[in-house]
Amino acid sequence: MSVQTTIEAKLKAALRPERLEIINESHLHAHHQPQFDGSGETHFRVRIVADTFAGMPRLARHRAVNDLLKDELAAGVHALAIEPAAPGEAVRW
């Protein structure tokens, strides 16, 4: 199973989002460091709208997602951009 698929499955199971987009941005970071050639699964953007985030501060939302994906972060995901929102909140995407 790909890292992207694993991230999607974990977030869907735990947060039951009404909207979820996982974007592999690894190609944008090719050669920023010698080990990043842009072909792997090292950099992701997570755009998520979930009821769980209602009334939750931004930092707590980020921590919740990071906690769910701690194994992936420890295993080689180098960067995780998180764009969390509760239903009805304005998003830029």
pLDDT over 70 at 29, yes or no: no
Give percent of the chain with pLDDT exceeding 90: 72
Q: Domain 3-85: which CATH class? A: alpha beta
Instruction: Report residue 43 as tokens.
Output: 């950099």
What is residue 66's three-state secondary structure?
Answer: helix
Q: What is the pLDDT of residues 50-70, one digit of tens each?
A: 999 999 999 999 999 999 999
Joined together, the tokens standing for residue 62 give 């980020």
Whole-number Å distance between alpha carbons of 53 and 6: 21
Q: For Cα atoms 69, 74, 78, give the angle at the middle one, nearest 5 degrees.
A: 85
Domain definitions of the chain by residue range:
3-85
Helix (H, G, I), strand (E, B) or coil at 24: strand
pLDDT of residue 53: 98
* Per-residue burial over 46-70, b = 16 or more CB atoms within 10 Å of its CB, e = otherwise: bbbbbebbeeeeeeebbebbeebbe
